[in-house]
Amino acid sequence: MKLKNLKKKVALEALKFIPEKIFVGIGTGSTISYLINFLKNIKNKIKGAVSSSYETTMSLRRNGIKVVKLNSLDCLPLYIDSADEINNNMEMIKGGGAALTREKILASAADEFICIIDETKQVKTLGKFPLPIEVLPMSYRYVMKELKKIGGEVSKRNVITDNNNYILDISKLCILNPLEIENKINNIPGVISVGIFSQRKPDILLVSTKKNVKTFFYK
């Protein structure tokens, strides 16, 4: 089965987990773009969405789904997003689409976080996918120097984030202790956020395989 069909299949399955009359947080990326296409069919059943990026906001609006700001809500019942890598302990790398900071905010703010992936995202050890880090532009060379002490190869991505910052990627880093690396990188002045999600892990994981979609509950 083609990768895009695996992504579509898991996005369709996620609809079953969305209660009526709520605002839903929506992530960023190609899996999520399939979810948004399906979401338009139930747009009158939900109150609207909170978006994790400019790209997602545009796509939600094109599909007739109301977008509200996180600050306008007292609570966010649900956040749905995908990931770049996930290990057996439900720790993830995110940020392939450069939206990691807003994604982390929404995942943390939400009462429930559902992660939807295809089976190619499951790994034993995080780090094959280059680890994204959002940094303040004025600090990027200093942060690069500090990151090199951790290991791997650090490069600056040719992108400006929705928050007007830069993205650094660490490739060839074997992340054996995600929590420790997440905290270490978070502590470097100039770092806005790091794409390791080991503190806020998903409550529900949906994984599409060639045969079916598997559901795992962690709450």
Contact 218, 159 (CB under 8 A): no
Q: How far is the CB of 49 from ligand 5RP (least distance, A)?
A: 16
Instruction: For residue 68, give the 3-state DSSP assignment.
Output: coil
Q: How far is the CB of 195 from ligand 5RP (least distance, A)?
A: 7
Closer to ligand 5RP at the Cβ: 82 or 198?
Answer: 82
Closer to ligand 5RP at the Cβ: 6 or 143?
Answer: 6
Q: How far is the CB of 120 from ligand 5RP (least distance, A)?
A: 9
Active-site residue list: 103
Q: How far apart are CA 110 and CA 79, in angstroms?
A: 6
Closer to ligand 5RP at the Cβ: 80 or 188?
Answer: 80
Q: Which of 145, 126, 127 is nearest to 135 (CA)?
A: 145
In the complex, the residues that contact ligand 5RP under the rule CB under 6 A are: 27-31, 81-84, 94-100, 103
* Residues 7-34 as b or e (16 or more Cβ within 10 Å = b): bbbbbbbbeeebeeebbbbbbbbebbbb
